[in-house]
């Protein structure tokens, strides 16, 4: 059996009895950074063989893990902090295990974006977790455009050297909205800064951040229509297909090419 085990995101006490029990019972533990994980494992007197499993060797190490499982070993996979697979290595491995017909399960634990959502005070009834923004400017513009009109809280992960750039990119894509930057979750210097995107972030860019942004206020009733109905509405009102396509793409915050199939229909 393979176990994806959630680990603390800051405070070492935020780990379940079951997680400790499983980590003490398995034959080996796969870690993002074995040196980093030693601090946590030593705190609970967990002495097991460790080997690296990170985003740069996911498939290669995944094959080794699969062989270990076939040899009858029980393996635990942990990330540096929080839940493996969620913006951390593990998703490729899960797919490989399914293809091989091998069993795996999850030992739940702390998750940074869920904790940040609670701390933010923003609407938690519906939300969309988007992970880290792409590094290339063109890619991040295209990425953010897809979510401009979502009427739910949007959640991003951001490294300290990227947070100011990420806030600026979100502002350029969405316009001014309420936002919250949460850092050092569960640690001594945990902080939540509430601010308007147009004003930027004031806090020192130190520590791992979760950036939360309020959803779009969709007062446009046309956005309640399907893409096809939206285009047909403007054509019925006298626009030609090209004009209708351009207007609908602008209102929905998507590319014209993504709507082209509806004009063919």
Residue 118 sits in the same domain as residue 45: no
**In this predicted structure, what is the pLDDT of residue 203?**
83
Residue whose C-alpha is closest to residue 137's, from 173, 88, 185: 173
What is the tally of helices (H) and strands (E) in the chain? 10, 10
Distance in angstroms (rounded) separating the CA atoms of residues 168 and 159 = 14
**In this predicted structure, what is the pLDDT of residue 99?**
97
CATH code, domain carrying 203 = 3.30.950.10
Residue 10 sits in the same domain as residue 105: yes
Residue 102 sits in the same domain as residue 118: no
Using the 3D structure, point to which of 197, 213, 229 is the last residue of a domain: 213
Residue 132 sits in the same domain as residue 208: yes
**In this predicted structure, what is the pLDDT of residue 220?**
64
Distance in angstroms (rounded) separating the CA atoms of residues 4 and 72 = 17
Residue 48 sits in the same domain as residue 90: yes
Strands of the chain (E only): list them.
2-5, 28-31, 50-52, 75-78, 104-107, 127-132, 153-158, 178-183, 191-196, 209-213
**In this predicted structure, what is the pLDDT of residue 218?**
65
**In this predicted structure, what is the pLDDT of residue 224?**
72
Distance in angstroms (rounded) separating the CA atoms of residues 44 and 258 = 52
**In this predicted structure, what is the pLDDT of residue 117?**
97
| DSSP label at residue 198 | G
Cα angle for residues 9, 14, 19 (degrees, 5° grid): 100
How many structural domains is the chain composed of?
3
Residue 39 sits in the same domain as residue 86: yes
Q: Which residues of the chain have pLDDT under 70?
A: 218-220, 265
Using the 3D structure, point to which of 65, 94, 110 is the last residue of a domain: 110
**In this predicted structure, what is the pLDDT of residue 16?**
96
Residue whose C-alpha is closest to residue 187's, from 10, 37, 68, 5: 10
Domain that holds residue 152: 113-213
**In this predicted structure, what is the pLDDT of residue 133?**
97
Distance in angstroms (rounded) separating the CA atoms of residues 59 and 240 = 50
For the entire predicted model, the pTM comes to 0.79
Residue whose C-alpha is closest to residue 87's, from 113, 50, 124, 116: 113
């Amino acid at each position: 059996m393979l176990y994806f085990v959630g680990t603390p995101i800051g405070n070492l006490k935020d780990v379940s009895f079951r997680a400790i029990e499983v980590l003490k019972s398995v034959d080996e533990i796969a870690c993002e950074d074995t040196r980093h994980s030693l601090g946590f494992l030593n705190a609970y007197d967990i002495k097991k063989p460790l080997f690296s499993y990170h985003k740069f060797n996911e498939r290669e190490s995944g094959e080794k893990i699969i062989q270990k499982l076939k040899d009858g070993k029980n393996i635990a996979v942990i990330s540096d902090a929080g839940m493996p697979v969620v913006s951390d290595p593990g998703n490729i491995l899960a797919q490989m295990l399914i293809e091989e017909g091998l069993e795996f399960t999850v030992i739940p634990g702390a998750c940074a974006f869920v904790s940040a959502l609670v701390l933010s005070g923003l609407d938690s009834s519906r939300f969309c977790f988007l992970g880290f923004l792409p590094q290339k400017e063109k890619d991040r513009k295209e990425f953010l455009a897809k979510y401009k009109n979502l009427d739910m809280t949007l959640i991003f992960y951001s490294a300290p050297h990227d947070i100011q750039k990420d806030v600026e990119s979100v502002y350029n894509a969405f316009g001014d909205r309420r936002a919250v930057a949460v850092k050092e979750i569960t640690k001594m210097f945990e902080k939540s800064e509430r601010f308007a995107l147009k004003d930027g972030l004031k806090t020192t860019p130190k520590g791992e951040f979760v950036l939360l942004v309020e959803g779009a206020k969709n007062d446009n009733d046309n956005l309640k229509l399907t893409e096809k109905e939206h285009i047909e509405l403007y054509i019925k009102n006298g626009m030609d297909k090209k004009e209708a396509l351009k207007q609908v793409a602008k209102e929905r915050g998507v590319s014209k090419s993504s709507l082209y199939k509806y004009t063919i229909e």
